[in-house]
Structure 1
Amino acid sequence: IDPGTRQAIPAMPDSVWNAGGYYASRGTDELASDDGQFGVAFKYYAESLNATEFGLYYMNYHSRLPYASAEAGTYNDNPVQHPVSGVDLPFLPVSGPGAGFAAAYNPKYHTVYPEDIQLFGLSFNTTVSEWAVSGEVSHRLDMPLQINGADLLASALSGDPRSPLTPEYSEASTGETVDGFHRFDYTQSQLTFIKFFDKALGTDRITTVAELGYGHVWDLDESDGAIKYGRATTYGVTFDGVGDDKDGFTTTDSAGYRLAVKADYRNVFAGVDLAPSVAWSHDVYGYSPEPQGTFHEGRTGLNLALKANYLNMYSMSVSYTQFGGDFNPLSDRDYVSAAVGISF
């Protein structure tokens, strides 16, 4: 979109845009501090409560995942106007007013690793009728949520007034970082069930695992004009009326489940053990905060695998993985993998 006329610009090679000075370079990434992370955990074993182990823990940690952020260009302080509309331009072209300074004063982008995320958690682990049952509830204070990357770049690179981020970006001075995230409190809970079936269906052992999960973002505004979080940039911005402007973004609530089954066949022939397995994941409702993205409504995953082990020394495995669901960049990336190994 032309930032001056708000009209669609014909597609052109990147070389043309670069030659004209219409680009954003990558700035210096902001790495997290080497210190400031700590935690404490307490465990209590209650024999009288069906031999249940309880846990209580606290952590202060820095994000291990990167968040995209933008740097304001010089147009915030000393704008160059569009020759037709008079609208302030976010770029300095290589010709005309401001010529030659594009590389130094155009908007930039970089990644940030937010610090000081506080985590409180409760957990338990017990046995119920031959099922191993465990659960956890965790609450994060000031957890960063990634702003939709397409919206972030649209505000930084075009100053589009339709973007809810543009006012925040336009207040920044030249070179000032505009965080690509806002902080919210986030609660997540999960339940895990594990059971072994020995000598069942001709196997030596069948292992089954089921897991349920739920997440809740506190005080998240999901109204149409609000800032949107999450969703891959592949699916465009949230405000241009093109494509789906409403779905796929972080929601207040999200949930999903995971299932896995593995069968063990020992000494099937000549010292060879076989272990076929199947794993299935289904995100049922809502969209979790990015970049973690635990749940994406409608997203599915299927993994079929077979592992062979010879004399507990040599191994070989082959697997097929399939993805599905809307707003899932991996939905067209099914793949087959194979591996061999040796233990010594």
Structure 2
Amino acid sequence: MTHMAKTVVIHEHGGPETLTIETRAVDEPGPGEIRIAHRACGLNFIDIYQRSGLYPQRMPAALGMEAAGVVEAVGEGVTHLKPGDRAAYAANPPGAYTEARVMPAAQVCPLPEGISFEEGAAMMLKGMTVEYLFHRTTPLEAGDTVLFHAAAGGVGLIACQWARSEGITLIGTAGSDEKCQLALDHGATHCINYRTEDFVARVRDLTGGKGVVAVMDSVGKDTFDGSLDCLKPLGMLINFGSASGPVPPFNIATLAAKGSLKLTRPTLFTHIADHATCQEMARHLFDKVLSGEVTIRIDQKFALDNIAEAHRALAGRQTTGCTIVTI
């Protein structure tokens, strides 16, 4: 049986005005696939990168990388999910901005009772990103100090709570006093308003001139040089996003001159490509939420029909916490 679903599609790269809503056919799942009816989907900067062409897509392209809903059907070989299961995911290929879809099952995770569909849609990409930042990128332990840019955003507020739960000192940055207070309320030890303070000087002051063991930076171009200057010798800069634009080419010898620094540009999708690893990361995230150590804060909700407005709000730095699109 063929089902029909409203789906957000672009036919060319560009601004929010390129986002159109079409009704598309949704078929039965094939081997290794599921059909899922969404209850909510998440909004992330990667969606903007794909829409704008920073991450080029083949046209026409469906957008959206995370969602939560109910499994309607499973294809041959799918054993970890069954029809009727609550589920959530962050996964390729894009296409989560829709009422329902057929997709690969391997990165779709059973969603525990006690976590709502809206929380599931808001937390998967951001929460598993925090999981790999703290557990799979560079060794971190209780007592370490890290710098986290955009600490009042969706990823940032999860990171603040995650750091507090593991005894890690997190110094955040944000663009207003109100956003700094939000980060502090969620577990940041310190938060720097980068519009009124030099974050490099402030980090050096807070660490007694030593610097931090890691910088977690999703801003990119505007913070890259300063982030390097915040690291202690042998420290690692983890650049996991480009909200201000891509980092320009630079001389790799700079890393040696500044203290044998390390630099990495990871993505969540490398980490979750393996089914077992993906499910393990999701369970770790779910445990944090179910224990109360991490609360998923949803500050903005948009209807699917208002997806362009949602993109404008996120790109304009008008959001805090997580943003979801309701179905």
Q: Give the TM-score category using the shorter length.
A: under 0.3
Relative to total residues, which structure has the larger helix share, 1 or 2? Answer: 2
Query: TM-score under structure 1 normalisation?
Result: 0.20
**Structure number with bigger Rg:** 1
Query: TM-score under structure 2 normalisation?
Result: 0.20
Q: Which has the higher contact order (CA 8 A, sep 6+)?
A: 2
Relative to total residues, which structure has the larger strand share, 1 or 2? Answer: 1
